[in-house]
Amino acid sequence: MNRENPILSFARDFSGDDAAIMAQVEAWIANPPEDQETVGFYGGDDYEPTTRSFLATVVLLRNQDKISSAEDKYLIEIFGRWRDDGVIDPTALRPAVKAVFGPFITQDEVPDLSDEDTTSAYRRTVWSLYAQATEELEQHIGSRGRVLLSIDATDGDTMFFALVKREIAQRWRDKALSEQDGYRAGVRSPMWDRFWDYMGYALGPYWATEDHEGYPPGTRMRSETIPFAE
């Protein structure tokens, strides 16, 4: 019995079996794209064939609004999108997620933290509650019928997110679909460690200070190795 190519299976589940997307991905699997514009990542035209096919698929899914993305410096905008799409209900947030992420969920810009005492208090809150807030956010999204996953394409400046049904999340969570120079790309549990780094880039001194090194206690970390999807 011939198994379906995992990238094609991935495209099927994450596109909702969109016929046009499936046709394009099937063509890329047969003849991996060779131009950087199609692959969608700088230097991608030199990547391994499977990696080129997977990355092109990720970009296609994003361009067709099947998954979403945010660059590091604009990461806070993802909260407004989730709010507007009904993924998050700002009125039903639990205390930790409201304290840490609430300012970005209720407005689309950096909150006014010009007062140093207010800023210091917010930084302390972020450091102490970040891990709990990420758990509460996942639970909140789950209670509204979807599961949040990261699509881990590269270690570049863009994060990709998927919101899927529970059975799709169970099938794909923490499964690799390509490997390039030792970097395993694929579908992961939300990468809250990278999210922390990118929030720091987006917000600078509003987010954390040099007094805090590494990640807040309890932050779930990205594993370098995950098994390949079969």
In a 10 Å sphere around its CB, with 0-12 CB exposed, 13-18 middle and 19+ buried, how is residue 153 labelled? buried
Q: Which two tokens stand for residue 164?
A: 């899927």
Rounded to a whole number, what is the distance in angstroms from the first to the last CA of the chain?
13
The mean pLDDT values, 10 residues at a time, for the chain of 230 residues are 87 98 97 91 87 96 97 94 95 95 78 75 92 98 97 95 98 97 96 96 82 90 93
Instruction: Give me the residue label for tokens 């939300």.
Output: 190
Contact 184, 224 (CB under 8 A): yes
Q: Model-level pTM?
A: 0.94
- What is the pLDDT, as a whole number, of residue 9? 97
The candidate with the shortest Cα–Cα distance to 57, out of 86, 90, 14, is 14
Cβ burial, residue 179 (10 Å; 0-12/13-18/19+): middle
Q: Do residues 161 and 109 make contact, with C-beta atoms less than 8 angstroms apart?
A: no
Query: What confidence score (pLDDT) does residue 212 get?
Result: 75
